């Protein structure tokens, strides 16, 4: 092994020196995954001449991050040339290192590989491994290290289980939560435990493969301590509206911003749009012309537009697969940390108890009511909470929509949360 004076931590060196051909690392955020990936590729490329290595990341932006790491850690005297356009490095010993994006699996075919590191593998398409990388390792009996924060029980999870099987001697698996990094202060872990929903904390910090489904809201009973209240002059209120027309219910929830407390709720169905608009107008006027957050998805859009044209302070949210996790996980966090106070309501508790999550094979989370149950209370309160405390900040009250469709377009493009750049600004260990 070439000594590059890279200050590997004990756990990182444990991985590097393990004899298994295929190593799967399940790690929490901030553990040093991308740094280790760079180190392993560099050490391997300098150990023997005329070898070929791939360092694969899920997307091109992530590839550029790890590309910068490679160049920063690689001894300059070992480099023959660096091809920025093609993202590869040729060493003086004849070895080649390619930084590749997993966006297009077919673009990874054709090379015989001595070794490969797949970084953030849980976010990479399974065909990257099954159809491109694994066959490319066959001719040279190459090795692979597959590193990631868990993201559902997908192909990365399956490889991890294979490495836990003692009979699979070519495979080995390692589990390192974020606190396995001795350079990460305990206070940082504690702060993340408070600022993240439990499910995300377990997955992204504790590096657990969380159950594929279950109840979303925990600790609800701890926040059912509010009571209805008439508006107080000078107070600001946030109104969450989930729309229904026939079997589904329309639910209107009002929150008192200064106390993060629900002070009014209303639920009705089997009515028409004119009546719904009338009730929304009345509650808006009654509660000091506060700020309305409304589900503008589908048939909700014309109601949102009509009320916006009247000069009402209203904000439409197109609730879809991209936006729903944001509002649901915000409410999760507020309930778990007792940052919100809700009115005790039997129908509401039934809905919250029957609201579930499912982690899809892709790793994305689907939130929905159990079969036969409604989610109108859930969405209404989630919208109210997001207006008061959206994203763990000050909410989005006071916004003025320049165009009724502008917010919807933005939300449609919002990706699921992935912290691709969590290590970009770090200094090398030992610095």
Predicted local confidence at residue 200, as pLDDT: 76
Query: Residue 204 has what pLDDT?
Result: 82
Residue by residue, DSSP assigns 17-84 as: H---SEEEEEE-TTS-HHHHHHHHHHHHHHHSSS-EEEEEESSHHHHHHHHHHHHHHS-GGGEEEEET
Asked which of 110-124, 187-201, 396-410 is least confident by mean pLDDT, the reply is 396-410
Rounded CA separation 426/416 (Å): 24
Whether residue 88 has pLDDT greater than 50? yes
- pLDDT at position 397: 52
Say what percent of the chain tops pLDDT 70.
85
The chain-wide mean pLDDT, for the chain, equals 82
pLDDT for position 31: 81
Tokens read off for 333: 């966090």
Which residues are 353's β-sheet partners? none
Residue 425 has pLDDT above 70, yes or no: no
Q: Average the pLDDT over 184-199 and give the result.
A: 78
Name which of 360, 381, 370 is nearest 261 in CA terms: 381
Strand order in the sheet with 52-57: 79-83, 88-91, 96-101, 52-57, 115-119, 143-148, 22-27, 171-176
Q: Average pLDDT, stretch 319-324? A: 85
Q: How confident is the model at residue 188 (pLDDT cuts 50, 70, 90)?
A: confident
Decide yes or no: CATH 3.40.50.300 for domain 10-204: yes
Q: Which two tokens stand for residue 405?
A: 């469709």
The pLDDT value recorded for residue 216 is: 84
Q: Where in the chain is the domain with CATH 3.40.50.300?
A: 10-204
Residue 308 has pLDDT above 90, yes or no: yes
Residue 378 banded pLDDT, cuts 50, 70, 90? very high
Question: Poorest-confidence range of 153-157, 308-312, 338-342?
Answer: 153-157
On the CB side of 43, how many CA atoms lie within 13 Å of its CA? 19
* pLDDT band, very low/low/confident/very high, at 293 (cuts 50, 70, 90): very high
Whether this model's pTM surpasses 0.75: no
Question: Which residues belong to CATH 3.30.420.240 in the chain?
Answer: 213-412
The architecture of the domain spanning 213-412 is 2-Layer Sandwich (3.30)
For the ranges 93-102, 258-267, 345-354, 413-422, the maximum mean pLDDT occurs at 258-267
* pLDDT value, residue 59: 84
Mean pLDDT of 89-98: 93
pLDDT of 228 reads: 96
CB within 8 Å of 338: residues ≥ 6 apart: 219, 222, 223
Mean pLDDT in residue range 57-82: 87
How far from 383 is each of 133, 183, 307, CA to CA, in Å?
44, 38, 17
Question: pLDDT tens digits for 400-418?
Answer: 333 333 333 332 222 222 2
Q: How confident is the model at residue 199 (pLDDT cuts 50, 70, 90)?
A: confident
Q: For 211-222, how does the pLDDT look when each residue is reduced to its tens digit (9 = 90+)?
A: 655 668 888 989
What is the rounded CA–CA span in Å between residue 3 and residue 46?
10
Tell me the mean pLDDT in the region 239-258.
89
Helix, strand and coil percent figures for the chain, each rounded to 5: 40, 20, 40
């Amino acid at each position: 092994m070439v000594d590059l004076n890279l200050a590997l931590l004990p756990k990182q060196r444990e991985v590097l020196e393990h004899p298994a051909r295929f190593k799967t690392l399940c790690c929490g955020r901030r553990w040093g995954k991308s740094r280790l990936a760079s180190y392993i590729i560099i050490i391997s490329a300098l150990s023997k001449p005329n070898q070929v290595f791939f360092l694969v990341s899920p997307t091109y932006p992530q590839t550029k991050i790890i590309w910068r790491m490679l160049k920063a850690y690689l001894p300059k005297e070992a480099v023959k040339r660096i091809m920025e356009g093609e993202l590869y490095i040729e060493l003086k010993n004849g070895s080649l290192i390619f930084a590749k994006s997993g966006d297009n699996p077919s673009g990874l075919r054709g090379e015989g590989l001595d070794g490969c590191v797949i970084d953030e593998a849980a976010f990479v398409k399974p065909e990257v491994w099954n159809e491109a990388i694994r066959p490319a390792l066959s001719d040279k009996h190459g090795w692979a290290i597959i590193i990631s924060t868990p993201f559902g029980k997908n192909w990365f999870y399956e490889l991890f289980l294979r490495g836990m099987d003692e009979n699979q001697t070519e495979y080995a698996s390692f589990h390192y939560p974020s606190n396995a990094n001795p350079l990460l202060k305990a206070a940082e872990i504690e702060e993340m435990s408070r600022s993240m929903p439990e499910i995300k904390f377990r997955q992204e910090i504790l590096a657990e493969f969380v159950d594929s489904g279950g109840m979303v809201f925990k600790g609800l009973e701890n926040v059912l301590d509010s009571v209805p209240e008439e508006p107080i002059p000078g107070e600001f209120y946030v109104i969450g509206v989930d729309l229904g027309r026939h079997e589904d219910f329309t639910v209107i929830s009002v929150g008192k911003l200064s106390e993060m407390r629900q002070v009014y709720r209303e639920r009705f169905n089997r009515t028409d749009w004119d009546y719904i608009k009338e009730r929304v107008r009345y509650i808006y006027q009654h509660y000091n012309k506060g700020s309305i957050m409304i589900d503008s998805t589908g048939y909700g859009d014309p109601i949102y537009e009509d009320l916006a044209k009247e000069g009402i302070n209203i904000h439409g949210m197109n609730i879809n697969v991209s936006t729903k996790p944001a509002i649901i996980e915000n409410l999760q966090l507020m309930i778990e940390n007792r940052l919100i106070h809700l009115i005790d309501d039997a129908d509401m508790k039934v809905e919250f108890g029957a609201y579930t999550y499912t982690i899809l094979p892709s790793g994305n989370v689907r939130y929905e009511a159990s079969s036969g149950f409604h989610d109108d209370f859930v969405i209404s309160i989630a919208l109210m909470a997001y207006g008061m405390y959206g994203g763990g900040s000050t909410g989005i009250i006071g916004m003025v929509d320049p165009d009724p469709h502008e917010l919807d377009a933005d939300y449609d493009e919002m990706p699921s949360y992935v912290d691709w750049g969590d290590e970009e600004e770090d200094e090398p260990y030992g610095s």
